[in-house]
């Protein structure tokens, strides 16, 4: 066994020998995983600009409630299955879980294609199956596995930004695509995109780290309980619920406001596309600056404040194309920053062995926010007018602001090499190490007589870790 002292360091993110830029593998992981989001979200977004018009040709399509259910059914099934998929990815591996989810999404797309010329209930069943392929937790956890802490928000920004770009693309491309191939063709096309995603997962996405593919891991309900009781994670879950509730509620009334301002439906992309593209460019400088200067919480809180101001701005000045475009630009800047920051914070705060579970809970609350936003937006606009939707949004985000003030952002992450003297059940030893205060991950290398520990420098229990590694604790 090596005789190196326990405190010898391996190159860490702060060492000069390691460049402070994303590695080739990190870039490959980030862009390949974001492509899975793009392929899947195209399938969800493509029908939004055209389905309500097409539905009038279908049996049952004249019922606007059923049309709304068809549009939102995927959100409900996602909400129920995000946690199981996240927990499954912790146990069975990220790639297996992603492939299974994409296969379900493809099946749902083909079912919806078969029903698009018949009864709306067949489309509802297909949309529910699409949502059952709830891979978001597994993809985000996989991105966290393959990127270092100091670059994780950048990776999440690319993934979050790809969703915004996909939304803009769907607004532009869906009407002409519908004209050429019809609604059934759009559903078939999205099913084929999902199959392409399966190929990309197997052929392009980097392999899972050896420390993640761990046959000793078990799906433990205690991990779910710990995630649900974690006050820091609860703050973030309230945040993603509020963010997507506001987003969906806004899109119940903003398209109507654009039409009322003189912009016909077919030209709404003239506003959406430049706004989304500009917001993606504007979101990057504050994220990079905040990471470089250690001001993530300040940037996070400022983005929430901007979101409150946007909602109040819409309530007071939400008429006119220029007003709407300006407010939408501010909305998407704040939205994209928060959308990138929230999952990054979840992966940093969650226990290493329950990262997929924590992301599953996070994505469940996100899906519930989409459903709640559509429901509340519709009810409020119908009974009290569009301004009530934005007053509701401002109040909800203001509540989030008060809760977020107590948030603690994790500090610096270090990775060090320690001598491993303990023998016996190494899988159990690893589990005990990652449960220690401040320890993010542990990789045991018995053939080298060494252990690599990743931990928060200001709040980890070094003595307890040394006792375990040297076999002084039974």
Q: Which of 177, 194, 216 is the last residue of a domain?
A: 216
More confident: 158 or 312: 312
Domain annotation covers residue 17:
no
Domain annotation covers residue 2:
no
How close are the terminal C-alpha atoms of the chain, in Å?
21
pLDDT band at residue 145 using 50, 70 and 90 as cut-offs: confident
Residues 318 and 250 grouped into a single domain: yes
Please, are residues 109 and 39 in contact by the beta-carbon 8 Å criterion? no
Residues 114 and 234 grouped into a single domain: no
Which tens digits make up the pLDDT trace of 195-220?
A: 988 998 888 888 777 555 444 444 45
Q: What are phi and psi of 9, to 5 degrees?
A: -95, 145
More confident: 40 or 17: 40
Residues 273 and 383 grouped into a single domain: yes
Integer Cα distance of 115 and 124 in angstroms: 9
- Sign of the Cα torsion 62, 68, 72, 77 reads negative
Please give the DSSP secondary-structure letter assigned to residue 14: T
**Dihedral class, residue 113 (left if φ above 0, else alpha if ψ from -120 to 50, else beta):** alpha
Looking at mean pLDDT, say which of 41-55, 100-114, 243-257, 387-401 comes out highest. 387-401
Residues 228 and 336 grouped into a single domain: yes
Q: Which residues pair with 455 in a beta bridge?
A: 414, 439
Write down the pLDDT at residue 294: 64
Which tens digits make up the pLDDT trace of 285-313?
A: 877 777 666 677 888 899 999 999 999 99
Q: How many CA atoms lie within 13 A of 98 on its CB side?
A: 31
Residues 157 and 63 grouped into a single domain: yes
Three-state secondary structure call for residue 410 = coil
Domain annotation covers residue 8:
no
Write down the pLDDT at residue 410: 64
Residues 98 and 211 grouped into a single domain: yes
Residues 62 and 88 grouped into a single domain: yes
Integer Cα distance of 172 and 448 in angstroms: 56
451 Cα distance to chain centroid: 31
415 CB neighbour count, 10 Å cutoff: 20
Mean residue pLDDT of the chain comes to: 77
Domain annotation covers residue 176:
yes
From start to end of 108-151, where are the E strands? none
More confident: 412 or 434: 434
Domain annotation covers residue 144:
yes
Q: Residue 453 is part of a domain; what is its CATH number?
A: 3.30.70.100
Q: Which residues pair with 288 in a beta bridge?
A: none
**pLDDT (average), residues 431-437:** 77
241 exposure class (CB count in 10 Å sphere: 0-12, 13-18, 19+) = buried
Q: Which of 410, 427, 443 is the last residue of a domain?
A: 410
Pairing of strands 413-419, 439-445: unpaired
Segments forming the whole domain that contains residue 375: 220-410
Integer Cα distance of 446 and 422 in angstroms: 9
Please, are residues 156 and 344 in contact by the beta-carbon 8 Å criterion? yes
159: pLDDT strictly greater than 80: no
Please name which of 81, 77, 153 lies closest in space to residue 361, comparing C-alpha atoms.
Answer: 81
List the alpha helices (DSSP H) in 350-447: 355-384, 386-404, 426-434
Write down the pLDDT at residue 117: 67
Residues 204 and 232 grouped into a single domain: no
How many structural domains comprise the chain?
3
């Amino acid at each position: 066994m090596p005789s190196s002292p326990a405190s010898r360091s391996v190159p860490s993110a702060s060492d000069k020998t390691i460049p402070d830029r994303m590695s080739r593998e990190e870039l490959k992981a980030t862009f390949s995983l974001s492509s899975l989001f793009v392929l899947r979200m195209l399938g969800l977004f493509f029908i939004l600009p055209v389905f309500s018009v097409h539905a009038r040709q279908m049996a049952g399509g004249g019922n606007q409630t059923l049309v709304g259910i068809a549009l939102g059914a995927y959100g409900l099934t996602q909400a129920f299955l995000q946690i199981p998929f996240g927990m499954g990815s912790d146990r069975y591996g990220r790639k297996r879980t992603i492939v299974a989810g994409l296969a379900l999404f493809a099946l749902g797309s083909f079912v919806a294609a078969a029903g698009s010329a018949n009864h709306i209930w067949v489309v509802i069943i297909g949309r529910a199956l699409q949502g059952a392929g709830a891979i978001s937790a597994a993809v985000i956890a996989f991105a966290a596995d393959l990127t270092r802490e100091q670059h994780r928000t950048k990776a999440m920004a690319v993934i979050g930004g790809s969703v915004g770009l996909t939304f803009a693309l769907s607004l532009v491309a869906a009407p002409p695509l519908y004209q050429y191939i019809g609604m059934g063709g759009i559903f078939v096309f999205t099913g084929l995109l999902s199959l392409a995603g399966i190929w990309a997962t197997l052929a392009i996405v980097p392999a899972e780290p050896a420390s993640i593919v761990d046959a000793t891991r078990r799906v433990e309900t205690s991990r779910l309980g710990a995630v649900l009781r974690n006050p820091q994670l609860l703050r973030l879950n309230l945040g993603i619920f509020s963010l997507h509730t506001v987003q969906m509620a806004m899109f119940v009334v903003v398209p109507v406001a654009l039409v009322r301002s003189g912009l016909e439906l077919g030209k709404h992309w003239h506003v959406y596309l430049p706004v989304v593209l500009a917001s993606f460019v504007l979101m990057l400088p504050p994220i990079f600056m905040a990471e470089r200067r250690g001001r993530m919480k300040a940037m996070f809180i400022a983005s929430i404040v901007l979101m409150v101001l946007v909602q109040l701005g819409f309530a007071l000045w939400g008429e006119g194309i220029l007003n709407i475009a300006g407010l939408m630009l501010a909305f998407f800047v704040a939205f994209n920053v928060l959308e990138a920051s929230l999952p990054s914070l979840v992966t940093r705060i969650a226990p290493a062995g329950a990262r997929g579970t924590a992301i599953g809970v996070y994505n469940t609350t996100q899906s519930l926010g989409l459903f709640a936003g559509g429901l509340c937006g519709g009810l409020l606009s119908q009974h009290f007018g569009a301004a009530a939707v934005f007053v509701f949004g401002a109040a909800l985000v203001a509540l989030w602001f008060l809760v977020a003030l107590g948030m603690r952002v994790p500090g610096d992450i270090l990775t060090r090499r320690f001598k491993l003297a303990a023998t016996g059940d190494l899988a159990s030893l690893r589990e005990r190490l990652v449960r220690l205060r401040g320890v993010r991950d542990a990789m045991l290398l018995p053939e080298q007589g060494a252990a690599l520990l990743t931990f928060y420098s200001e709040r980890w229990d070094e003595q307890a870790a040394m006792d375990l590694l040297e076999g002084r604790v039974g």
